[in-house]
Structure 1
């Protein structure tokens, strides 16, 4: 009988490979593995980056004009953005310097320009609708549902007006800040619950959309806390290194985070709903 060298090592390698394969199968069948695979299938990060690019090109110019029209407070979009990011006073000055004085945008915008901004904003609503359809594995909606994009954009603008009307942390006590944060979470939950129902053209039941709206609202709250501790110092440091372009880079990164939360929250909500419905792992196309 021939003598073979290295047999114990081969057995150990085979045992190690078997253990790794079992661990790999367990991770793939777990909640984290399913979320990871579904996010990769729908290109979650790619869509989040597209969300940020469209927000910067289509939605932000419209919001700049709308904020300039807020004559009651006259804060402008820079103050809106500062409150949404929760940045410090040093970073606040850099953001306000980048967007200029509040009244300039309104004075230099014509009726035709405002109509163009609104039309571009509608394309942003169409992109969000496409992302939700990918989350739920639905076919693209028909062309006659475009009116939903106009309604969604109008409600989004009004919701942002209400959100930024809340007192800033410097103006409010600790208790009031917590209450305002709670109201913001509830408001975000209602908005994204309704947004999914509207943009998906009623093809998904209200009950199935609840987990996604809750995940999105909590995710945005977490992103706001993260922004206070990470993005706020980055604005100050990047401005020193890159100038005004550094502020743009941080703003784009924040918008990528918002897009990731919006689409990722809807995806987690769908998987959680299917877990409750005892359809696990989820089958693509099932609702």
Structure 2
């Protein structure tokens, strides 16, 4: 079977054919690699600068990073052992620290371009776009730290608490990506249309981070023994590629599902069924009032 015949068959399946064409349109692999590369360039220098200028926050920052990425204690110990705060402070300075924080918005700009590409919106750059990306990046990092801190509280060790904590994490993460997509799209796409992609991103992201906590430590340990700090960076880049695939795929699937004619027809059917059954309820009171007056 040739490629053209296979594509014709896939086009007959609801959503699948449209989804495949959309993956090609947005250049899925290139988009994931760009987000992962910008995330690596943004997060690692920012972590080094924060650890150098705020030594008391070094351990907390590394713990938050390893908690979110699932890198384990090996990444924290390796980075800490190779980090020289005095040298970083002397070579960076306050101006360099500000430039590092400002350049970290490249990750936010990559996310903005991804959402704009998925939803086919024109790019908003300049001072307005940079300012919004910077504010989103700061808020996103703070919220992720709060979520990572709550993770230890939500998971108490029993099955019930773990399942409850997992559900709370999914809800919170869905809210984070829901707000993220709306903010980075500058409100040009409605909240309701962004819901499916945000819920999908939130659920899959939580599952991805928990699985990373189980699988990544052994991978990081092997890379750390072989390459040292470079191995930690390679492990982090691998994790970021997976995270980018989750985010790009969720946003794209969310749009395709939301705009698919089959799904829209089902929603119209359900809405019509509700509208038909709904008006029957208030018919009772108007009939009782004439009887009371007579």
Tell me the TM-score normalised to structure 2 length.
Answer: 0.75
Q: Match of 1:128?
A: 111
Indicate whether 1:112 and 2:95 are aligned. Answer: yes
Q: Provide the rounded CA distance (Å) in 2 between the counterparts of 1:111 and 1:29.
A: 59
From 158, 162, 168, the equivalent of 1:183 is 168
Tell me the distance in 2 between the aligned counterparts of 1:215 and 1:199.
18
Taking only aligned residues, the RMSD between alpha carbons, in angstroms, comes to 3.2
**Matching residue of 2:264:** 277
Greater per-residue helix proportion: 2
Residues 263 and 167 (structure 1), Cα distance of their counterparts in 2 relative to 1, 3 Å cut: closer
Q: Provide the residue aligned with 2:41 in structure 1.
A: 57
Deviation per CA, 1:213-268, whole angstroms, max 9, x where unpaired? 01111121221133134322211223334443332222111001111111111111
The answer to which of 247-256 and 157-166 deviates more is 157-166
Contact residue 66 and residue 75 of structure 2 kept, 8 A: no
1:139 to 96, 114, 122: 122
- Indicate the residue corresponding to 2:217 in structure 1: 232
138, 149, 156: which is aligned to 2:140? Answer: 156
- For these two proteins, the number of residue pairs brought into alignment is 258
Please state whether the residue corresponding to 1:166 is helix, strand or coil. Answer: helix
Q: Given the alignment, which residue of 75, 89, 93 partners 2:74?
A: 93
CA contact under 8 A between 2:40 and 2:237: conserved in structure 1? yes
User: What's the counterpart of residue 285 of structure 1?
Assistant: none
User: CA 1:232–1:143 in structure 2 vs 1: closer, same or farther (change >3 Å)?
Assistant: same
Q: When the two structures are superposed, what TM-score results if normalisation uses the length of structure 1?
A: 0.77
Which stretches of structure 1, 4 residues or longer, exceed 6 Å deviation after superposition? none
Aligned to 2:59: 75
- Note closer, same or farther for the CA distance 1:104–1:63 as it changes in structure 2 (3 Å cut): same
Shift of 1:164: 2.6
User: Which residues in structure 2 correspond to 1:162-181 (within 5 Å)?
Assistant: 162-168=146-152, 172-174=156-158, 175-181=160-166
Structure 1 residues 251-260 or 57-66, which shifts more?
57-66
Superposition map of 1:9-48 within 5 A: 24-30=7-13, 31-48=15-32
Distance 1:199 1:21, change over 3 A: closer
Is the 2:156–2:162 contact (alpha carbons within 8 Å) kept by the matching residues of 1? yes
The alignment partner of 1:47 has SS state of: helix
What secondary structure, in the 3-state scheme, does the structure 1 residue paired with 2:150 have?
A: coil
Measured in 1, the distance between the counterparts of 2:6 and 2:105 equals: 46
Q: For 1:144 and 1:94, how far apart are their aligned partners in 2?
A: 36
* 8 A Cα contact 2:11 2:18, kept in partner: yes
- Residues 127/85 of structure 1: CA separation in 2 closer, same or farther (3 Å cut): closer
